[in-house]
């Protein structure tokens, strides 16, 4: 049985009076890819934004219940510390446009005012870019701004930037939905490599991607956690009819 790295207890999230995540109880196993899957608007993005405490930045947002990172209540610690341990990659690649590739990768340190020696930062940049499978393509262009990179490369840069912080968990919010199939394939392959060192939580409404990439799948519908289990089992013989209807395309 794998270790649980993240656990929620009756987690609910709302925008004002509108509850979009309802009493979710989830245990994410360590060093796996867990997909949170469901139709558009089911609350999956809101759910993961509760994990890195980004949901509360929206005015009127409310969170009830608890989230434990290795049995530590994340709502009892400083949110900025939480966000350094739980990183996030967004749907549209968003490298910082005023910074070079090099600076983008260590942006988490620079912007937080952490002093790094030249040697240290060089090491972090190289390791992170290698982990994100981008090193070979940019190693001679580290001092250029990231805007000349393709969409897929920019997204891998964002992944490197998040990895540089050495997080326990990496949240990926539909990371390939803005990319072409080839770039998507590369990032999917990257995810199966990354899970050896970081736990990945992926949000997608692309059933195929969930099947190809993840070890565990959680199906979320109208804010409720309907089913959670090994991906192979969910895709072959789901226990809940709603899961089956979603997978067979009866609603999406």
Partner 1 sequence: MDRERIQMRIARDRAFKGLVVLLSFLSIVPLFLILFYILENGLSSLSWEFLIELPKPVGEAGGGIANAIVGSFLLVIIASLPAVPIGITAGVYLSEHKRGKLSYLVRLAVEVLQGTPSIVVGIIAYLWLVISTGGFSALSGGIALGIMMLPVIVRTTEETLKLIPDTLKEASLALGVPYYRTILKVILPAGFSGIATGILISVARIAGETAPLLFTAFGNAFMNVNIIKPVNALPLLIYNYATSPYPEWHSVAWGASCVLVGLVLTLNVVTRIMARRWKIQF
Partner 2 sequence: MLAEELDDVKQKLVESACLVESMVEKSIRGLTRRDEGLLLEVIGQDEPKENDLEMEIDEACIHVIACYQPQARDLRTIVMLSKINNDLERMGDEAVNISEGALFLIKRPEVKPLIDIPKMAEETRRMLKDSLKSFMDEDTQRARGVCQRDDIVDGLRDQILRELITFMASDPTTIERSNHLIRISRSLERIADLSTNICEDVIYMVEGKTIRHGRFEND
165 touches partner 1 (CB under 8 A): yes
Stretch that binds partner 1, among 33-41, 63-71, 157-165, 218-226 (CB under 8 A): 157-165
Phi, psi of 230 (to 5 degrees): -60, 140
> What is the C-alpha separation between 98 and 109, in angstroms, rounded?
16
The two beta strands, 199-204 and 169-173, are parallel
231 burial level (CB within 10 Å; 0-12, 13-18, 19+): buried
Residues that bind partner 1 (rule: CB under 8 A) add up to a total of 28
Task: Establish if 63 lies at the interface with partner 1 (CB under 8 A).
Answer: no
**113 interacts with, out of partner 1, partner 2, none, CB within 5 to 8 A per kind:** partner 1
User: Of 74, 41, 45, which is closest to residue 168 (Cα–Cα)?
Assistant: 74
**DSSP string covering 184-251, please?**
HHHHHHHHHHHTTTSEEEEEES-HHHHHHH-SEEEEEETTEEEEEEEHHHHHHS-SSHHHHHHHTTS-
Which is nearer to partner 1, 33 or 88 (by Cβ)? 88
User: Closest Cα to residue 194, out of 217, 209, 214?
Assistant: 214
Q: Does 92 bind partner 1 (CB under 8 A)?
A: yes
Shortest separation between residue 146's beta carbon and partner 2, angstroms: 28
- List the one residue from 29, 39, 64, 107 that touches partner 1 (CB under 8 A): 107
Stretch that binds partner 1, among 22-30, 158-166, 190-198, 221-229 (CB under 8 A): 158-166
Cα–Cα distance between 170 and 158 in angstroms, integer? 11
Taking CB under 8 A as the criterion, the residue among 111, 120, 144, 189 binding partner 1 is: 111
Q: What is the DSSP letter of 36?
A: E
- Interacting residues with partner 1 between 113 and 132 (CB under 8 A): 113
Residues at the interface with partner 2 (CB under 8 A): 188-189, 192, 208, 211-212, 231-232, 235-236
Residue 222 binds which of partner 1, partner 2, none (CB < 5-8 A, kind-dependent):
none
Rule CB under 8 A: which residues touch partner 1? 52, 54, 57, 80-84, 87-88, 90, 92, 94-98, 107-108, 110-113, 147, 158, 161-162, 165
């Amino acid at each position: 049985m794998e270790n649980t790295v993240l656990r929620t207890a009756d987690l609910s999230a709302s925008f004002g009076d509108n509850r979009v995540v309802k009493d979710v109880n989830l245990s994410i196993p360590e060093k796996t890819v867990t997909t949170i899957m469901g139709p558009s608007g089911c609350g999956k993005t809101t759910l993961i934004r509760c994990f890195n405490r980004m949901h509360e930045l929206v005015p009127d947002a409310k969170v009830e219940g608890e989230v434990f990172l290795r049995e530590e209540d994340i709502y009892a610690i400083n949110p900025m510390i939480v966000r350094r341990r739980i990183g996030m990659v967004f749907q549209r690649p968003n490298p910082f446009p005023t910074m070079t590739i090099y600076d983008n990768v260590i942006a988490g340190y620079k912007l937080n005012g952490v002093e790094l020696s030249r040697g240290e930062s060089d090491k972090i940049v190289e390791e992170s870019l290698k982990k994100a499978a981008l090193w070979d393509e940019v190693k001679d262009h580290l001092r250029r701004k990231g805007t000349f990179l393709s969409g897929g490369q920019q997204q891998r840069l964002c992944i490197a930037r998040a990895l540089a912080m050495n997080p326990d968990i990496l949240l990926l919010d539909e990371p390939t939905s803005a990319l072409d199939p080839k770039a998507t394939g590369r990032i999917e392959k990257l995810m199966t490599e990354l899970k050896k060192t970081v736990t990945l939580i992926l949000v997608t409404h692309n059933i195929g991607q969930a099947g190809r990439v993840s070890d565990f799948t959680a199906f979320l519908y109208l804010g409720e956690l309907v089913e959670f289990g090994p991906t192979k089992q969910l895709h072959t013989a789901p226990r809940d009819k709603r899961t089956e209807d979603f997978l067979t395309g009866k609603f999406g």
